Chains A and B, each alone.
Chain A
Amino acid sequence: MSNTENIRNFSIIAHIDHGKSTLADRLLEACSAVSSRDMTDQLLDNMELERERGITIKARAVNLNYTAADGKTYELNLIDTPGHVDFNYEVSRSLRACEAALLVVDASQGVEAQTLSNTYLAVDNGLEILPVINKIDLPAADVPRAKKEIEDIIGILAEDAPCISAKQGLNIPDVLERIVRDVPPPKGDPDAPLKALIFDSQYDPYRGVIVFFRIFDGTLRTGDTVHMMATGADFDVVEIGKMHPLGLAPCGELGPGCVGYLTASIKSLRDTAVGDTVTLAARPAAEPLPGYRKAQSMVFSGIYPDDGSRYPDLRDALEKLQLNDAALSFEPETSAALGFGFRCGFLGLLHMEIIQERLEREFNFDIITTAPSVIYKVRLRSGEEVTIDNPQNWPDPAGIDCAFEPFVRASIITPPEYVGSIMELCQERRGIHKGIDYLDPDRVEVRYELPLNEIIYDFFDSLKSRTKGYASLDYELIDYRPSQLLKLDILLNGEPVDALSFIVHSDKAYARARKIAERLKDNIPRQLFEIPVQAAVGGKIIARETVKALRKDVLAKCYGGDITRKKKLLEKQKEGKKRMRSVGSVNLSHEAFMAVLKLDE
């Protein structure tokens, strides 16, 4: 049994693009017996294979053996974390499985919003923070400044932080030595009842779910019957082992401090929720590890196949994605405009975009998505409370006593010159100003409380474009607040288009209605007749535009008896028409639906 004295469990946290993955690769290389080229090839092959088999991302944890300068061999467990605000809960679970976190800071960029939020998350989980200054090879690198920011803003010593270039493989051994020296070895009682934290799981079509965990107390052996304390499911363990760089390495037993995997012919990821505690059915722990909560969808949108006949394929694709992504939820919905599709729930906007992109790339779908919606709560005059994740289900205004919408606490870190335009943006989005902190001469944290519904459209894009990409955003859900909400309906040629309805705050209804009518006018292809575009609240028209009738197509000659040009034009036209949705007598393109989503100029 391995001695916990020689185990080091750590993760790497960083702002996006600060070099987390590159550093991880370098650590793998430095500890691997195989040559770096072989290993890279191998890893890539593995990933390709995984992709073919419908598995998504490479294992999120890896077990490395490192022989340190003191001559001893240490077992390093690197536990990767997802890199985005949508996956905060997953990040916090991964962090819980470690004793320390390497905080990677780009020497040319310094501390940014996610650096901060991830560091706080790590500190909240009781982790040691080991700063690492990366990208020192860049011309714009300013190591003293980066160190100073870490000390001033985050409040941890950075004076002797390793200064590296992960890209060029510079000073990587410094990092490894630091891990051995400063990451506390795990504690735990091998004879206590088993307590292991699930920090990730993956579906494998051959073995069922592979559960990745960290043992805090007790010992797990092949053949044990395990009990999932939150979901209540029991399984007979088929295999346990460690995650080596080149693949899973089975072993007979794992003790405290170990990071490993188990398989137990588990059919569904739902039984192996991230954050759950694994114990032994025969001798269960009295209490689970703290902090478990169910993944919660925050953003909902309808997803429809562009080609209606592919509805069953879309269901298959979503099911496949769900095998590996327990946070994705979906149920069938129908729209008069779009036909059969699915109401999908996501952790956040990025999660939604990832799923949409994977549907398009990996499953070759052209999809139409409806405007994203948050979950609203509505108290009816009858006293009943309903939750609404689809504008189509918005109750009759006459029956509404009070509507509530979710608010988030947002932190935006930006160079000072953009504070004005950020505040303007937040103000436009109904933000409540909560304060400004000058982190250092070049960096300001702007804090707002914002309705989530204002963030899910194009807030992030607007923020980036107003700050030339410098500002970074982090947010978390805080509460539900009463709000004057209205359902805005869009009518084309006098007929309401259900898929275009959305919920809007009453102060913004007119402006939004006008903008959407304009957008639609510009994006609805002209047809053989004139099309009125109207926006209405409760039957009252509040904005109107007109799509003029089409008067001229491209006319092709049939010169010299060559009718192929004409045929090509017609083919194109037919293809275009097939891609359109017929709503009443109006043909709507994908672009028209998407136009509704983009509000900022």
Chain B
Amino acid sequence: MSEPLGLYLHVPFCRAKCRYCDFFSAPGDEAAQEAYTGALIRRIRALRGLAGLRPFSSVYFGGGTPTVLGRARLVRLLDAAADVGLAPDAEVSVEANPATVDRAGLAALRRAGFNRLSVGAQSFDPGELALLGRLHGPDDVRRTVSDAFAAGFENVSLDLMLGLPGQTVPRVLSSVRAALETGVSHLSAYCLKLEPGTPMARDYPDGRGLPDGDETADAYLAAAAALSGAGLEQYEISNFARPGRACRHNLLYWTLGEYVGLGPSAHSDFGGRRFYFPRGAGFSAPFSSVFDGTLPEETDREEERVMLSLRTAAGLDLSSLAPETARAAAEVLSAVAARGLAAPTETGFRLTPEGFLVSNQIISEILLKGMS
């Protein structure tokens, strides 16, 4: 069997910009969407014959809001990817915002080969949803998930946000419970991070008015415990899944697997290089070779291995590191393990939920020690 290879397709359209979001997206009319879909298909086709290319083990439609494109365009895009090569058991994910797609639409996507749906719920609290600038309410989430099940999706995920203004532990737990009640088998829980230039960053200058680190830590640990208790195992800092439902595509990012990203702001790690399409115009222009217009990204595998594998429950395999880094990692990790922030594994160490929360500290400590 060949090494897995992921395909990420960026859909830079949204109906409205959420107040916390600084990902690349813009409202687009029919013509812009059609033009963009065409451009994306041309790039997908151009992947054919690329050295090292093999059938995709996963395809991920992210955004933006991919479902804004409408099912016909999404299907055309997936067909284009399948023409290039799709493994028979490929995981095909699409992100959807609640109430942006109906049961018939979902059924059409399922029939076309989509088999995983990630629903951007963010919260089940109407106040929190309004504050984030979301266009949906809690019931829209429930309906979209039940529509997805009815349409034949078995692999459905919800996103939740932690660290929202006024969010207490009980309120987080009630969102988590509501999420579990929908019957999803996967859940992502992200801590709000104010991105410069977003409306929320202006609303809460320097984070004033947001829960502090301790309160957010409490919320995170409570959510993690509730999810594990319900059988959704934590397999990454922010991701929880029933056995067998971990997102194979996202796992590629954390295990230094290969992936190709197409679209403005999409990143690739392919053929030993990291590179990305910059934001903004240019992607749709004619090209002579599929990665025309990309910019190179600095690559340091050793650092990436430490940084990315410590995000996962599998943890860091010390034997995969250079001796100096391995020594530094063992030193730092065994010290923090004594405080309950890490735990030994067969091959090295993993971080505990408490450790995930301070992973920057731990990782930067290792990198400073190992590379000085």
A residues with a Cβ closer than 8 A to B are: 527-529, 548, 550-564, 566-567, 569-570, 573-574, 577-578
Tell me if A552 and B10 are in contact (CB < 8 A).
no
Encoded as 1 (CB less than 8 Å from any A CB) or 0, chain B from 244 to 284 comes to 00000000111000010100011111000010100000000
Q: Given A560-B266, A561-B259, A574-B364 in contact, is the A552-B276 Cβ separation under 8 Å?
A: no
Bound: A578/B371 CA distance, A: 12
CA–CA, A471 to B269, complex, Å? 64
Is the C-beta of B217 less than 8 angstroms from some C-beta in chain A?
yes
Binds A, one of B78-86, B135-143, B303-311: B303-311
**CB distance B213 to A551 under 8 Å?**
yes
B191 within 8 A of A: yes
Asked whether A573 and B311 contact (CB < 8 A) given A555-B191, A557-B190, A560-B267, the answer is no
Let me know if B358 and A570 touch, CB within 8 A.
Answer: no
Contact A570 B364 (CB under 8 A): yes
- The one of B62, B216, B357, B360 that contacts A560, using a Cβ cutoff of 8 Å: B62
Is residue B336 contacting chain A, with contact meaning CB distance below 8 A? yes
Candidates A529, A556, A566, A573; contact of B339 at CB < 8 Å? A529
Contact partner of A570 among B191, B297, B360, CB < 8 A? Answer: B360
Q: Please tell me if the beta carbons of A561 and B307 are within 8 angstroms of each other in the complex.
A: no
**Most chain-B CB neighbours within 10 Å: which of A548, A554, A561, A564?**
A561
Question: B269 contacts which chain A residues (CB < 8 A)?
Answer: 561
- The reply to whether A560 and B265 contact each other, CB–CB distance below 8 Å, is yes
Q: How far is the CB of B362 from chain A (nearest CB, A)?
A: 8
Total chain B interface residues with beta-carbon distance under 8 A: 51
State whether the Cβ of B287 lies closer than 8 Å to any Cβ in chain A.
no
Asked whether, in the complex, the Cβ of B361 is within 8 Å of the Cβ of A550, the reply is: yes
Chain A residues near B360 (CB-CB < 8 A): 553-555, 569-570, 573
**Which 7 pairs between the two chains have the least Cβ-Cβ distance?**
A553-B360, A551-B217, A573-B364, A552-B213, A552-B217, A552-B357, A562-B267
The distance from the CB of A583 to the nearest CB of chain B, in whole angstroms, is 16
| Chain A residue nearest to B62 in the complex (CB) | A560
> Contacts of B56 on A, CB cut-off 8 Å?
none
Q: Contacts of A528 on B, CB cut-off 8 Å?
A: 336, 339, 341, 358, 361-362
Quick check: A573 and B265 within 8 Å, CB to CB?
no
When distances are taken between beta carbons in the complex, the residues of chain B under 8 Å from A559 are 23, 62
Residues of chain B whose beta carbon lies under 8 Å from any beta carbon of chain A: 6, 8, 10, 23, 60, 62, 190-191, 193, 213-214, 216-217, 220, 237-238, 252-254, 259, 261, 265-269, 274, 276, 297-298, 303-304, 307-308, 311, 336, 339, 341, 354, 356-365, 367-368
Given known pairs A563-B304, A577-B364, the reply for A552 and B220 (CB within 8 Å) is yes
Q: How far is the CB of B57 from chain A (nearest CB, A)?
A: 14
Taking a contact as CB atoms closer than 8 A, the residue among A554, A557, A560, A569 that contacts B10 in the complex is A560
Contact between B213 and A558 (Cβ–Cβ < 8 Å)? no
Complex-state Cα separation, A562 to B297, whole angstroms = 10
User: B341 — which chain A residues lie within 8 A by C-beta?
Assistant: 528
Report the Cα distance A561→B307, complex, angstroms. 13
User: In whole Å, how far is A68's beta carbon from the nearest beta carbon of chain B?
Assistant: 62
Q: Is there contact, CB below 8 Å, between A555 and B253? A: no
Given contacts A554-B193, A570-B307, contact A561 B252 (CB under 8 A): yes
Q: A560 to B261, Cβ gap below 8 A?
A: yes
- Is A555 a contact partner of B367 (Cβ separation < 8 A)? no
A553 engages B357 (CB within 8 Å) = yes
Which residues of chain A are within 8 angstroms of B190 by Cβ–Cβ distance? 555, 557
Task: Give bound CA distance, A570 to B304, whole Å.
Answer: 11
Shortest Cβ distance from residue A485 to the other chain B in the assembled complex, whole angstroms: 41
Chain A minimum-CB-distance residue to B266: A560
A527 CA to B361 CA, complexed, in Å: 8
| B356 and chain A: residue at smallest CB distance | A555
Q: Is B357 a contact of A551 with CB atoms below 8 Å?
A: yes
Complex CA–CA separation, A66 to B362 (angstroms): 72
A309 to chain B minimum Cβ distance, whole angstroms, is: 11
17 additional A-B residue pairs with CB within 8 Å, beyond A550-B361, A558-B308, A567-B303: A528-B336, A528-B341, A528-B361, A551-B213, A551-B217, A552-B357, A553-B213, A553-B358, A553-B361, A555-B191, A555-B238, A558-B254, A558-B311, A560-B10, A561-B268, A573-B360, A574-B367
